[in-house]
Chain A
Amino acid sequence: MATTALEVQRAGGGTTHGDSGHGGSSHPPTSTGIDSKKLLMWWFLGSECVLFGSLIATFMIYRNRAQDLSVNLQGIEGSGLAVSSGPFPNQVLDQLYTAVSAGVLLFSSFTMVLAVASVGRGNIKAFRVWTLATAMLGAIFLAGQYFEYTEFFHEGLSIQQNIFGASFFTLTGVHGMHVFVGVIWLTMLSIVSFRGGISKKDHTNVEVAGLYWHFIDIVWIVLFTLVYLLPYRDGAESAEEHTEGAMRLVQSLPFF
Chain B
Amino acid sequence: MSATHVDSQAEDAAANHPGDRVYFTMLGMLAGLTVIEVIIFYLTDSLVLRVGLLAALLLVKFVAQIGWFTHLRYDDRRITLVFGGCLFIALSVMFATVAMMAVDGFFLLNEYQ
- Please give the residue numbers on chain A whose beta carbons come within 8 Å of chain B beta carbons, in ascending order: 12-14, 18-29, 32-35, 38-39, 42-43, 45-47, 49-50, 52-54, 56-58, 60-61, 65, 68-69, 72-73, 76, 95-96, 99, 102-103, 106-107, 109-110, 112-114, 116-117, 120-121, 200-201, 203-204, 207, 210-211, 214-215, 217-218, 221-222, 224-225, 228-231, 243, 246-247, 250
Contact = CB atoms under 8 A, between A and B. Distances in A.
Given A23-B16, A107-B27, A201 B86 contact: no
A72 B82 contact: no
Interface in B12-45: 12-17, 20, 23-24, 26-27, 30-31, 34-35, 37-38, 40-42
Contacts of B15: 24
Contacts of B110: 72, 243, 247
A23 B58 contact: no
A53 B23 contact: no
Contacts of A23: 16, 74, 76
Contacts, number: 209
Contact of A102 (B24, B34, B57, B101): B34
Nearest to A34: B76
A69 B83 CA distance: 38
Contacts of B7: 200-201
A96 B17 contact: no
A215 B93 CA distance: 20
Contacts of B31: 103, 106-107
A37 B13 CA distance: 14
A20 B13 contact: yes
Nearest to B57: A225
A201 B4 CA distance: 10
